[in-house]
Amino acid sequence: MTEPRVYDLSAAPPGHTYTATVKPEETQMDAWARVIREFLVLFAALGFLGLIAWICVETLRSSAASAEEKKWAMSFLTGAAGGLIGYLVKK
C-alpha cells in the first residue's frame, strides 16, 4: 500500500498553480428563492420580447404604417428569429 502524498500549499511545484475558494452552503430555502427569481426574470423577458414581436407583426399588417416603420419592424423580427435560432443551435 502506498503512502498518501503530502502537498505543501505554501509553495506550489514549478509550473503549477493552485486556487482555493470558500463558498457558503446554499440552503434549500435559498435554492428555491434563486430558482423562482430566475423563472420570474425569464418569463418577464419572454413577455417583453413577445410584446415587442406582437407590435412588430401588427406594424407589418397595418396599412397605415409607413415603409420606414415596416422596415424597422422587419429588422427586429429578423434579428429576433436569428437570435432564437442561434440560441437553440448554440454555435
pLDDT at 52 over 70: yes
Task: Decide: helix, strand or coil at residue 15.
Answer: coil
Tens of pLDDT, residue by residue over 57-69, are 999 999 999 999 9
Q: How far apart are CA 70 and CA 88, in angstroms?
A: 27
Q: What is the residue whose three cell numbers read 417583453?
A: 48
pTM of the complete model: 0.60
Length of the chain: 91
Q: What SS3 class is residue 8?
A: coil
pLDDT confidence bin for 15, thresholds 50/70/90? confident
Name the DSSP class of 20: -
- pLDDT the model gives residue 1: 63
Residue of higher predicted confidence among 51 and 19: 51
Domain-wise residue ranges, the chain = 28-89
Q: Check if the beta carbon of residue 65 is closer than 8 Å to that of residue 59.
A: yes
